[in-house]
Structure 1
Amino acid sequence: MGDGISSRHAEFCLERFAFMDSVSPDSSLESSNTSRDIEKLPSEPWFHSDTDTKGELRALIARLITSEKPSQPVVNPQDVFLYPKGMCAIGTLARQLVPASTHDSEAVVFGWPYGSTPKCVRVSGFERFTFLNQGTSEELDELESSLASGRVIACLFCEIPSNPKCATPDLHRIRRLADQYQFVVVCDETIGTFVNVDVLPYVDVVVTSLTKVFSGACNVMGGSVVLNASSPFYAALKAKLSYIYEDLVFPLDASVLLQNSRDFETRVQRANTNALAIANFLNAQVSISHVNYPTMVASAPLYERYRRSDGGYGSLVSFVFNNADSAVRFYDALDLCKGPSFGTNFTLVLPYSQLAHAFELDWAESQGLAKHIIRISVGLEDKDVLIEKFGQALQEVERLEESLEKGTTSSQDLMA
């Protein structure tokens, strides 16, 4: 799970499909090329090696992720591994963390990450898998108690902040437990971004979906793994990842990704400002039960511990209406782009559970994720224009709720 090729790479292959042989463990699925006329083979759509491009990407990521703490070393670009997608990075790393001993073969996912992360880790080959989906101190208490009683785990995955609840894990405590009980800590900072959060001192590995805010343009995919050179696991992880590493990032994808990332830091700061304004606006609405944003959730003090001196709170906001019908009306009325992904330069709205947990809605809700939660990836548009659009959609909610209160709403009105 998590592997594959990009659409650019697929188009490149399709143009050359007639010259290709397919290979499969099942010989009945194999096929031979239908053309051997090499003169008709299309030339590559690039004019140089992509080594420099990928070197620039590694150097940029290394610079941005380097900790502000004077005691921490500058990250070496050679400790940055590039992958075709964020899930490729997570999947590859998880498979390398599976130990030889079944006694040690357990992975823990802490907090509520993007829905595919626990699924990806679960199928990576571990004998046991534990999902501590609330990300609370009580769950860490339980984990610590079991570790003290002899339980052994290989690794713990977490996000900062989590998607879509915007909760922050206690990385200080997790680090202490990892040092005491010898497990690898992996943190996905895609939502937080290199610009906003400083997590490397507390984790062994940082994973990122470069598809999201790093690119912003929503026209390329990519992922990265960064190793902490101060980690007790550094030498072993570097050897494992280097040994199996294949550069599968398509050259044209790397070029687009680098071009898109040129103004990454500026875009993050603008998105921070817009998202904070939207979160505050939504938080003042009586029709909304609660808003999830790093400044507004119970773990807000923890986020401050990892926020960089010039960092903000990110571009992702989620919220829940008091009434599920209000959520439907708001979503339908909101004049903004709708769809998955986040971190785009334009604002993107998603009925999160309906997509990420489409086949497990009841279970997700039993764990605290409302079926009608709405996630907003706030973009770079004018802040006042965004607030006006949100306000217009909320007026529709107001009308609906007034008619519901009066008992004058029909089923047809709810579907309108």
Structure 2
Amino acid sequence: MTVSTPLFLAEPHSFPLGESLPPKNVHAVSVSIPTWDEIVRYMKGDKDIHGKLQADYPRFYQHALVSKLNNAVLARVEAPQSMRCMIFPSKDGMKRCGQHLRKNADTAHSIQEIKFHLIQDSSKENSVWCRFFSVLFPEKSTKYAEEFWGFLGDGISSRHAEFCLERFTFMSSLSLDATFRTNSTCNDVEKIPAVPWEQSDSETKDEIKNLISKWVTSNLPGQDPVRPRDVFLYPKGMCAISALARSLVPTSPIASEAVVFGWPYGSTPKCIKGSGFERFTFHDQGTSEELDQLEASLALGRHISCLFCEVPSNPLCATPDLNRIRRLADQYEFVVVCDETIGTFVDVDVLPYVDVVLTSLTKIFSGGCNVMGGSVILNTQSPFYGQLRAKLSSVYEDVIYPGDAEVLLRNCIDFPARVQKAGRTGMAIANFLRAHDAIAKVNYPTMVASTPLYEQYRRPSGGYGSLISIVFKNPNSAIRFYNTINLCKGPSIGANFTLVLPYSQLSHAHELDWAESRGMAKHIVRISVGLEDVDALIQRFSQALTEVERFEHEDANGGCSHICGTN
């Protein structure tokens, strides 16, 4: 299958602060933050920075369309000016948000939960999707509400918010508090717009699950094909993680412990830790020594419910020893969960070693950088299969807005070909960067200590992926590199265009010293390689490294070594 490269990628380049990535896309899931100082100020909540952003990663902020729906709710119920709002596609998401706020903020009596829905006769599709659940809370609790929105991902999508806004006048509200019960302001059912999707919602989602089940099925002998019924779709990758984690919390406190093994994406441990387990352990190095410690404690009677890991990890590209973890899981009866978002269904074959596979479909599965999604895939040969399927099925609610599913399906059709192309380019760029004297470390599956482990789980035709991270010998050189490189710069990975980001400065901005003490350098730079021409990309990296060389030469000869923005 050929890969079509979007027009704006023909000549890869950086964009001004605040430009949505992809450019001019109202539903973009990344945004241009082109200098190191702007990243630092962004994470400090600088209003001058945030005021210029046309987009952002949807879990990091309230999209303009979501904010507009928030304001419509506040206006409809005549809420006090000090109240704020967050909106969810599910009642469960609303309830969890309310619980989080009551637990963490002294405002329990001020929190209101309101359902909006159509009451007029309308099409089934309008009735199902023209509803949402809102939490109203005092402005002083905003920090805790944003924390919930970011770590768990339950919030409404921008497309779903847009859909509801177009029908808001036809919607009524329900609440335990009569003050917040309102009637629709328009009752002419003939004026309710038709739904904007063409294919039935169930058919679209079935097609996505069919593709995932085909691609994730193991190549190894004796492995059963994955069935579409064992693929559960979620609106975001973090929704998939949190839903699964909640389902793994046991009723007995004895085994109520979750383990995260290896250094995963920054929000993952926070999400799992907040899912309801009595205990949480983070083995952040993912080494054989830490497996020794785990095994020794299990042998002494420790009970754990589950272990989460990544293959390979984001952004260090490390691979855990899944064979040994599987043996321990079989012996001590705990669930193994692997997030293979970076490895992809195309490059790695992890299913035989784990009970559950997690994936953020937002990333390279979509590639379009314009829609969110996540999946949970159950291994039918897992000893926990029946238990896991029953538990997930009993609580599962399909809240993926059909318009998002439609975009996701359209984007993912050429997924294998895109993975292969981006992987070949990623390998070329990783080799190019490794040869440069200014760079102390290149993290890529072929260039880290766990390379032999990655090889064990790589498919026969699989590659090594499109994610790279680098650490410069001189931290200020990392800043010069980032400020100079003429490529898209912002959050997210797996886009069809290359994205560069000073990873720790965003994901660990409030814990930089701790993260560095555990091996995550403050000045690590993450590179997500896209579909652009490999020679054009290497030229961009070469130009940025030439600037690094010039800076280091000036510094060595007594020039100004300070670069604004380092911390």
TM-score above 0.5, yes or no? yes
Equivalent position of 1:86 in the other structure: 237
Choose the corresponding residue for 2:357, options 192, 206, 218: 206
Q: Is the 8 A contact 2:226 2:380 kept in 1?
A: yes
Q: Are the aligned partners of 1:89 and 1:207 in contact in 2 as well (CA < 8 Å)?
A: yes
Q: Given the alignment of the two structures, is residue 75 of structure 1 paired with residue 226 of structure 2, yes or no?
A: yes
Distance 1:255 1:411, change over 3 A: same
Equivalent of residue 117 in structure 1, options 233, 245, 268: 268
The one-letter amino acid of 1:165's match is L
> What's the CA shift for 1:2?
2.4
Alignment-derived partner of residue 377 in structure 1: 528
**Is the 1:329–1:414 Cα contact (8 Å) retained in structure 2?**
no
Give SS of 2:456's match. Answer: helix
Is contact 1:334–1:390 with CA below 8 Å preserved after alignment?
yes
Give 1:197's aligned amino acid. Answer: V
Inter-CA distance 75–393: structure 2 relative to 1 (3 Å threshold): same
What SS class does the counterpart of residue 280 from structure 1 fall into? helix
Output the TM-score relative to the length of structure 1: 0.97
| 1:129 Cα deviation after fit | 0.4
* SS of the residue 2:172 aligns to: coil
Residue in structure 1 matching 2:412, options 246, 261, 270: 261
Q: Counterpart of 2:443 in structure 1: which amino acid? A: N
Do residues 164 (structure 1) and 315 (structure 2) align? yes
8 Å CA contact 2:256–2:278 kept in 1: the answer is yes
Q: Distance in 2 between matches of 1:104 and 1:229?
A: 23
2:476 corresponding residue in structure 1: 325
Which of 267, 272, 295 matches 2:423?
Answer: 272
How far apart in 2 are the matches of 1:411 and 1:146? 48
The 2-side partners of 1:294 and 1:48 are apart by: 40
Aligned residue number for residue 314 of structure 1: 465
What corresponds to 2:377 in structure 1?
226
Give the one of 333, 338, 343 matched to 1:192: 343
Which residue in 1 is equivalent to 2:197?
46
Distance 1:316 1:412, change over 3 A: closer
Question: What stretches of structure 1 of length at least 5 have no aligned partner?
Answer: none
Task: Give, as a single letter, the amino acid of the residue that structure 2 aligns with 1:261.
Answer: C
Using the TM superposition, give the Cα deviation of residue 184 of structure 1 relative to its aligned residue in structure 2, in angstroms: 0.4
Offset, 1:70: 1.7
* 2:331 counterpart residue number: 180
1:414 and 1:250 map into 2 onto residues whose CA distance is 40
Counterpart residue identity of residue 117, structure 1: T
How many Å apart are 1:191 and its aligned residue?
A: 0.3
Change in Cα spacing, 1:373 to 1:25, as seen in structure 2 (3 Å) is farther
**1:331-410 map, 5 Å:** 331-409=482-560
Identity over the aligned pairs, expressed in percent?
A: 68
* RMSD (CA atoms): 1.5
Distance 1:257 1:402, change over 3 A: same
The corresponding residue for 2:434 is: 283
Letter in 2 for 1:146: S
**Aligned equivalent of 1:247:** 398
- C-alpha distance 336-182 of structure 1, shift in aligned 2 (>3 A): same
- Kept after mapping to 1: 8 A contact 2:197/2:406: no
Q: 2:165 aligns with which of 2, 6, 14?
A: 14
Amino acid at match of 1:4: G
Number of aligned residues:
415
Q: Distance in 2 between matches of 1:412 and 1:123?
A: 38
Q: CA deviation at 1:245?
A: 1.1
1:146-168 superposed Cα distances (whole Å, 9 cap, x missing partner): 00001000000000000100000
Name the TM-score, length of structure 2 as normaliser.
0.72
Contact 2:213/2:226 (CA < 8 Å) preserved in 1? yes
Instruction: After TM superposition, give the deviation of residue 39 of structure 1 in Å.
Output: 2.4
CA distance in 1, matches of 2:379, 2:312: 20
The AA in structure 1 aligned to 2:258 is A
Q: 1:45 to 1:139 in 2, by over 3 A?
A: same
State the AA in 1 paired with 2:222.
S
Q: 1:204, 1:228 within 8 Å by CA — same for their partners in 2? A: yes
SS in structure 1 of the partner of residue 413 of structure 2: helix
Q: Which amino acid aligns with 1:62?
A: S
Which has the larger displacement, 387-396 or 245-254? 245-254
The equivalences for 1:132-147 within 5 A come to: 132-147=283-298
1:48 Cα deviation after fit? 4.0
1:40 Cα deviation from its structure 2 partner: 2.3
- Matched residue SS, 1:257: helix
Contact 1:2 / 1:120 at 8 angstroms: preserved in 2?
Answer: no
Are 2:259 and 1:126 equivalent residues in the alignment? no
Q: CA deviation at 1:20?
A: 2.3
TM superposition shift of 1:85: 0.7
Task: Give the secondary-structure state (helix, strand or coil) at the position aligned to 1:87.
Answer: helix
CA distance in 2: counterparts of 1:22 and 1:126, whole angstroms: 34
